[in-house]
Structure 1
Amino acid sequence: MLAIIGGSRLAQLPILQITHRQVVRTPFGDPSCALTFGRIDSQNVVFMARHGYGNSIAPHELNYRANIWALHSVGVKRVLAIGSVGGIRPDMAPGMLVVPDNIIDYTWGRKHTFYEGPDRPLVRVDFTLPYDPELRRAVLAAAENSAVPCLDGGVYAVTQGPRLETAAEVLRLQRDGADMVGMTGMPEAALARELGLQYLHVCHIANWAAGKGASPERIQFADDALADGMAKVQALLTVFCAQGA
């Protein structure tokens, strides 16, 4: 089964034909919300609003382990995670979609593994390539088939939040090789890898990162770019599910 995790700009998924909702309990506490089951075209889909359906849970307060465990427990094998990010690279302007190919994790204090405690084995997962290559190819093919402009590749810097970054911090991220910056990419991706789930981020550029583009002194959010970006995300998801990838 396919799971779609909606970010702060996608707390609802209008293209989903809902069949039922299910509350899931996990050994790691409660997930952000009940899971919503349904279909997009011929694809069975379960949707989760990462920040809750009221968009009320901050990035650093999310129970990432409960969220990923809940999806795994209902039979999810593949996860498309939608997230809004700030563009650092010059071609990553607001409104664009990006399928990143790697991550740099700057978060701290988050529960980032299922394997901790005296009764758990020591497990080290290979995280060289954090995103599933098969899922990447399928999503990029769907973007091409849907005529939705989508950039292939880029490094996603994950910061702690909930505050946005300073211009100096963004310069450091850029020097480190980051192309975009967001707050929810980790430990979500690593937890999915630990449970053997195929996982991929689809990032919507919501704004220029601090000090970049149209945000030299203050980060600017454009409502039209946000709405356009979410429309592109849903168009991409519709074609992805229709092609039976």
Structure 2
Amino acid sequence: MIISSLSRTTWTFLSLIVILSLLQKNQIYVHGFPTETCSSRDRKYTHNGVCCYMCPPGYRVESHCQLNLDDSSCKPCPQGYFQGDWNSQTDCFRVNLCNKSHEHVAEEANKDGTSDNTCACDVGYEYSGSGERCRKAALTVIVTPRSHITDVTTTNALSSSSWSWFWSSSSLLPSPTPKTGSKVSTGDSSKLTIHILVALLCSFIFFVILGLALWRYRKKIRVCIKQQENRKQIGKACIFAHMFS
């Protein structure tokens, strides 16, 4: 009986030692499968054989945990420093000042210490080389062909204005015909029509007045010629009569 009780006590003690050793290794196995792990994927880390929880972004570890699966003591990052992820670091990273040559801060870091400054090169410069320094960008010339529609519109505008001026000066030429496929606006066509009508009307009035004047003048000349023939002499008043007889 004594021997059996001692053997049971021994086995119990050995089992406790095995369990404690597994705990120190941060995992307990049941039927060959782990039931608890200490991994960064679970926001945990191992320190001196003890599994501790990480500190959140914007904080650093001030002191590690002493008990398994316990929280570490975290402290916020000071101004000008940051931690962008869950971490087990005892120090924060210094914020990038973006003070290299031809470099500036494109986006400022968060005030809670959870992000870094975003840097960018000045206009006309780009990052190059292993040092990530800003160097003058290569000159790139982009040639964009002029649009066919733009050319046609410009040509039509010039031709329309030219025709309008020409028709305001002369009414004896045929009506201009736009090229096939060109675009002439309604306003331009109406203006051109008005110019044509005004020119035709002015021409008609001019020829009517000129015809009446010639007819009246010719009548007076005939009368003058008859008077001079009766007097057997040609006076100065009818000196141009022979030109129209």
More strand by share: 1
- The structure, 1 or 2, with the larger RCO (C-alpha pairs under 8 Å, 6+ apart) is 1
Q: Which structure has greater helix proportion?
A: 2
Larger Rg: 2
**Which bin holds the TM-score, normalised by the shorter protein?**
under 0.3
TM-score by length of 1: 0.15
